[in-house]
Amino acid sequence: MLSLVVSTTNAQSIISGTLKLVDNEQSAFGINILIKNPSSMTTIAYGITNEFGQFEINVNADTDSLLVLFRSLSVQERKLMIVNETQVISLTLEEGVQEIPEFTLKSIKNPVTLKNDTLSFAVDGFSSPNDRVIADIIKKLPGIEVLDNGKIMYEGRGIQKFYIDGMDLLEGKYNLANKNLPSDAVESIQILENHQPLRVLDSLVFSDRASLNLKLKKKNVWVGTGTAGIGISPLMYEGKFSPMTFRKDLQMLYNVQSNNSGKDIAQELNVLTLEDLQENAGAQESFKPWFGAPALWTPAIKTERFLFNQSQLVSANVLKRNQEGRDFRTNISYLHDHHRQEGALTTAYFLPNDTIQILEGHANRLLTRELDAELSWIRNERKSYFKNRLNLNLINNREIGTSQWNGKSWHQNAELPLFSISNSFHTLKPIGKQLLNIKSDIGFRNAKQNFILSPGSFESILNQGLPFDGLNQEIDYQSLFAHHSVGITKGLPKSWSYTGNLGLLYEFSGMGSILQTFLNNEEETVAEPFLNDLNYKQLKTYLHSQINHKQDNYNIQFKFPISHVNIAVNDNLLKENREVSRFVIEPQLFMKYFLSGKWNTTLRLSRKNDFKGINDIHYGFIIRNFRTFQQKSNSVPEVLSHSLNYGLNFRDPINSIFSSLNYNYVDSKLNTIMESEVDASGEVFYRTLDLNNRGENHLLNLRISKYLSLFKTNLTLTSSYQKNTIEQFINRVLSKVQYEMVGTGVELQINPGKKANFSNKTNLNFVTSQIDSRSTGKIQQWTSLSSLDLFLLENHILTIKWEHYDNRMTNKRDLTGFIDFVYLLKFKNSNWDLSLHGQNILNNNNFETFSADSFYIRQQSFLLRPRQVLLSINFSF
C-alpha cells in the first residue's frame, strides 16, 4: 500500500516558471508550452504564459524525464530536457518570426447568407448560361416558391413588398420586373424578414411578413431586354422591348410587347401582393360580371400550349425621389388582349335520385381592353408617413361565344364595360409622444353591361314552351364608396405599443336589370321575377384597438375591433326589403415565437363577420349563360368564420436548408344556402335560400428545400392536404358535399453549368368527392416536367424539354406527352443571342383533364396550339 502511494506521488509534478525576452527583458506573453514524452513525442501537458510571462503546468506521467518546448510566432523556438519532478524554470527567449509553410485552402462559397433579418442569395451562385431575366434565378432559390402566375412565396406566404434597390417602383405588379430585368444586372436577391414597410412604425408595430429586394450590381445604370421573333405553323410573331433606368433618385421601367405565339403578357399587370391588391380595390369587393360566355376551365399545363392570342401591352412606370426624400410615382398601362378558346365538356351531375350527363362544346372569343393609370405621392420617413394615391381604371371587355348542346347551337355576346376611379390617402405624423393616424378612401364605379343570346333558351318559362329568336339581359350598376378613419399609435413601456382607430365606412350600390325576348323583330320585356331594381346601402362605424408586444424571442399582437353595421337592401320593383343592424366583434390574436436562431413558430386565431355585397343579392332572376339562370333572393348574406392558422418554419442559411409547415382550419357558419336545380334537359337554376349552413375547410402544406453548394443542386419536397365540407340543396334535397385532395411532389434542379443542367418537377394528386355517403368519383393526376440543358460548344446551348401528364378518373384515362426544344446561339463579346424554339413537336391537338366541384364531375377536352417553330433574336443591355 505504501509503495503504491509513493509511486503515484512521484508520477505527479508541477512545472512552473517565468519567461522573458532577451532584448528588452519584458515578460513573454502568450508563449505556448508543450510538455512531451521524449521517447514517443506525444504531448503530455500544455500551457500558456500570462501577461507577466508566468506559467504553471500539472504533469501526470511516470517517465523519468520530460521534453519542454517553448513556441510562438513571435519568438525563436526553444527546447529543454528536464527531470520529471516539481521545479521552477526561468528562461529568456529570443525574438523572431516563424515562417508558416505555404498551403492552399480550397472551398465552395455558400451563395446564401444571413445578416440580422436579411437573407441574401448571391445571383452568381445560382445562375447558368441560359438565364436571361431575374425570374429565371428566383425560381431556383431554396426556401422560395414561385407560383404559375409569378407570385413569390416565402415560408408558405406571399411576399409583402417587392423592392428594387430599396424602392417600390411597381407596387405589387412585380412580374414587370421579374420577366424583363436582366439577371446579370442583379447582384443579390434579398428576403427581408419581419419587414415593416412603414418606417415610422418600425419600432412600434412589428410585422411577421417578408418582403423581397433586388440589389443591383451597379448604381446609376441603364439596362433592359428585348426580343423580336417570327415563326410558322401558324404564322407567328412576337416582340418585346423593355428599357429601364435605376438611379439613386430615379427609377423608370418601360415595357412594350406584342405577340400571337401564346405568351400571356396580361399576367405582367397582375397585382400579386395582398396589401397592394386591397389598397387598389379599397374596401370594395372585386367586381364580377353577372353573365358572360360559358368559361372553359384553364387546363393545368403551360399557357403557351393552349392560348390562341393576339396581345399588345404598353406600360410606363416612373418613380422620382426629390431631395427631401419624397417619392412621386406614375404607373400607366394599356392592355389589348384577344383570346380564342375551343373545347368540349362532359359534365356528370350527381342528383339525389339520378345522374344526368351533359355533353357540350364551346368556341369563345374573349377581348380585353383595359387602361389603368395611377399617380402616387409618398413620403416614407422615420418621423412621419404620407401617401396619396389616385387611380383611374377603364375596361371595355367583350365575350363572344358559340355553344353546341343537344344538337343545337347558341350564339352569345356579352359587352362588359366598367369605369372606376378612386383615391386613397394615408398619413402618420407625430403629435406629442404619439402618432396621429388618418386614412381616407373614396371610390366610384359604373357599368352598363348587356348579354345577347340567340336563339332564345328556357322556352318553358319565358315563352310558354315556344321557341323564340333570342333574348337580351341588361345590367346597370353604380357604386359609391367612402371610408375614413382617425386614430393614434403610441409606444408603451417594456416594448408594448397601442394603436386605436375610430372609423366610418359608407357604401351605396345600385343595380337594375331587365330581360327582353326577341321574336320576329319584336321586343318584349319579360315580367317579374326577371327584373331587378336593387339598392344596397351600408353604414359601418367602428373602433379598432390593437396591442403589440415585441421581444427578442417572441412577438404578440392582439386586435379587438368593435363595429356597428347597418345594411339596408331594397327592391321597390319587386317589393323586397332586407335589413341588418348589429354590433360585431372580430378579435384576432397572433403570436410568433423564435424557438432558436433557426426555428420559429406562429399561431393566429381570428373571428370574422363578413357581410356580402350587391353581387350576392338580387331578387329577380339573371341569366348567366345559355343554360343557366341565377337568383339570390335571400337575406343579407353573412359568413361568420372562426379560423386557426399554425406555422412552423426552419431556416439554416449555412447549410442551406429551408422548411415550412402551415396548417389552416376555418369553421364557417352561413345564414344562406345554395340551391341547385338541374332538369332532365341540363338547364340549371341556382338560387340562395335563407337557411343556416355550416362549412369546414382544412388545408395543410409542407415544403422542405435543401441546396447543395458543391453540386449547385436544389432539392425540394412538397406535400399538401385539403378537405372542404359544406351543405347544399340539390334538386330540393339537402345534401352534404365533401371535397378532399392529397398531393405530394418533388422538385430537383441541378445547375453545375459546365456540361449540362437538369431540372424536374413531379407532382401526384388524388382527388375524391362525395355527396352524403355517395362517392362521385376519384381523380388521380400525375404530372412530370423535365428540362435538360446541354452546353455543346462555347456559346451553343441546346435545351430539351419533355412533359408527361397522366389523368385518370374511375375507368377513364388520358395520357399526354409534350416535347419542346430550344437552340441558343450566343454571340461572342456581346449581349445578343439567336434562339430557335420548337414547341409541341409531337403535335398533340387536344388535352383532356378531369375536375371535381360541388355536386358534379367534369371531363374537359381543350384545343391546343399545333406544332410550331419560332426564330428569335434576343438582346440585353
- Residue range 730-746, pLDDT digits in tens: 888 888 889 999 999 99
**Looking at the predicted structure, is the pLDDT value of residue 279 above 70?**
no
Cα(613)–Cα(656) distance, integer angstroms:
47
- Residue range 712-728, pLDDT digits in tens: 899 999 999 999 999 88
In this structure, of 160-164, 217-221, 676-680, 805-809, the range with the lowest mean pLDDT score is 676-680
Cα(694)–Cα(686) distance, integer angstroms:
19
Distances from the Cα of 847 to the Cα of 666, 702, 817, angstroms = 35, 30, 10
Output the pLDDT for position 115. 87
Interval 439-449 mean pLDDT:
95
- Residue range 139-171, pLDDT digits in tens: 999 999 999 899 999 998 999 999 999 999 998
Interval 388-404 mean pLDDT:
95
Where residue 280 falls among pLDDT bands split at 50, 70, 90? low
Within the chain, what is the greatest distance between any pair of CA atoms? 132
Interval 750-755 mean pLDDT:
83
441, 283 Cβ separation under 8 angstroms: yes
Domain 323-876 has CATH 2.40.170: yes
What is residue 494's DSSP assignment?
T
Output the pLDDT for position 5. 39
In this structure, of 106-110, 436-440, 759-763, the range with the lowest mean pLDDT score is 106-110
Interval 123-150 mean pLDDT:
92
- Residue range 364-379, pLDDT digits in tens: 999 999 999 999 999 9
Of all residues in the chain, what percent carry a pLDDT higher than 90? 61
The neighbouring-strand residues paired with 638 are 611
Residue with the bigger pLDDT between 60 and 640: it is: 640
Output the pLDDT for position 337. 96
Return mean pLDDT, the chain.
Answer: 90
Where residue 348 falls among pLDDT bands split at 50, 70, 90? confident
Where residue 106 falls among pLDDT bands split at 50, 70, 90? low
Where residue 184 falls among pLDDT bands split at 50, 70, 90? very high
pTM of the model: 0.84
- Residue range 790-841, pLDDT digits in tens: 998 888 999 999 999 999 987 888 999 999 999 999 998 888 999 999 999 9
Pick the CATH number of 2-93 from 1.20.1600.10, 2.60.40.10, 3.40.50.300, 3.20.20.80: 2.60.40.10
**Looking at the predicted structure, is the pLDDT value of residue 421 above 50?**
yes
- The DSSP string of 85-129 is S-EEEEEEE-B--PPPPP--------SEEEETTEEEEEGGGT--T
478: Cβ contacts below 8 Å, ≥ 6 apart = 444, 445, 446, 447, 509, 510
Residues forming CATH 2.60.40.10 domain(s) in the chain: 2-93
Residue with the bigger pLDDT between 503 and 345: it is: 503
Where residue 99 falls among pLDDT bands split at 50, 70, 90? low
Output the pLDDT for position 9. 43
**Looking at the predicted structure, is the pLDDT value of residue 192 above 60?**
yes
Residue of 499, 500, 497 whose CA lies nearest to 555: 497
Cα(498)–Cα(328) distance, integer angstroms:
31
Residues forming CATH 2.40.170 domain(s) in the chain: 323-876
Residue with the bigger pLDDT between 26 and 7: it is: 26
Residue of 694, 594, 711 whose CA lies nearest to 641: 694
| Residue with grid cell 399557357, as numbered in its chain | 303
Residue with the bigger pLDDT between 787 and 857: it is: 787
Cα(315)–Cα(568) distance, integer angstroms:
41
Interval 633-660 mean pLDDT:
93
Distances from the Cα of 586 to the Cα of 248, 483, 623, angstroms = 43, 18, 36
**Looking at the predicted structure, is the pLDDT value of residue 185 above 60?**
yes
What are the φ/ψ torsions at residue 177 (nearest 5 degrees)?
-85, -45
**Looking at the predicted structure, is the pLDDT value of residue 409 above 80?**
yes
| Residue with grid cell 359587352, as numbered in its chain | 415
Distances from the Cα of 35 to the Cα of 67, 76, 422, 504, angstroms = 6, 17, 83, 83
Output the pLDDT for position 7. 41
Output the pLDDT for position 64. 85
Where residue 10 falls among pLDDT bands split at 50, 70, 90? very low
- Residue range 53-77, pLDDT digits in tens: 899 999 888 888 889 988 887 788 8
Q: Is the peptide bond before 111 cis (omega within 30 degrees of 0)?
A: no
**Looking at the predicted structure, is the pLDDT value of residue 105 above 70?**
no
Output the pLDDT for position 107. 53
Taking residue 793's Cβ as centre, other Cβ atoms within 10 Å add up to 8
Output the pLDDT for position 856. 79
SS (H, E, C) 200-243: HHCCCCCCCCCEEEEEECCCCEEEEEEEEEEEECCCEEEEEEEE
What is residue 760's DSSP assignment?
E
Residue of 423, 112, 166, 467 whose CA lies nearest to 279: 423
Interval 593-597 mean pLDDT:
90
**Looking at the predicted structure, is the pLDDT value of residue 560 above 80?**
yes
Of all residues in the chain, what percent carry a pLDDT higher than 70? 96
Helix, strand counts (H, E) of the chain = 5, 47
